[in-house]
Amino acid sequence: MRKPNAVKRLGMVRRKQSMTHEQFVDHWLNVHAELCKKLPGMRRYSVNLLAPESVPVLGYDGFSELWFDSVEALQAALSSPEGKTLLADLPNFTDHIQPILVEDYLMLG
């Protein structure tokens, strides 16, 4: 059986209702992302923004992708001081985040 390339934590994010889309994007890209980039052991990180009207049925404004070598590395990163600071920032720009843990299998790259 193939081994996954990485363990990925997707964070499906819904903006805080008291914020405009622009305020939400600004906080995520300029404050939260800077905190996230400090997570120990993270291999890759990306933020994916959805146009508010593009997928209304989905109900999310975007999602993040955090790549790690293992579930243990992910858990250690989120338990670290940097991870605790990152998680404490979530209420500053989101009313809801749905974490999804996936195994990433690179098929072309």
**What is the rounded distance in angstroms from the CA atom of residue 106 to the CA atom of residue 90?**
30
pLDDT tens for the chain, 109 residues: list them: 888 888 999 999 999 999 999 999 999 999 999 999 999 999 999 999 998 777 777 789 999 999 999 999 999 999 999 999 999 999 999 999 999 999 999 888 7
Using H for helix, E for strand and C for coil, what is the string for the chain? CCCCCEEEEEEEEEECCCCCHHHHHHHHHHHHHHHHCCCCCCCEEEEEECCCCCCCCCCCCEEEEEEECCHHHHHHHHHCHHHHHHHHHHHHCEEEEEEEEEEECCCCC
| Report field, pTM of the whole predicted structure over 0.75 | yes
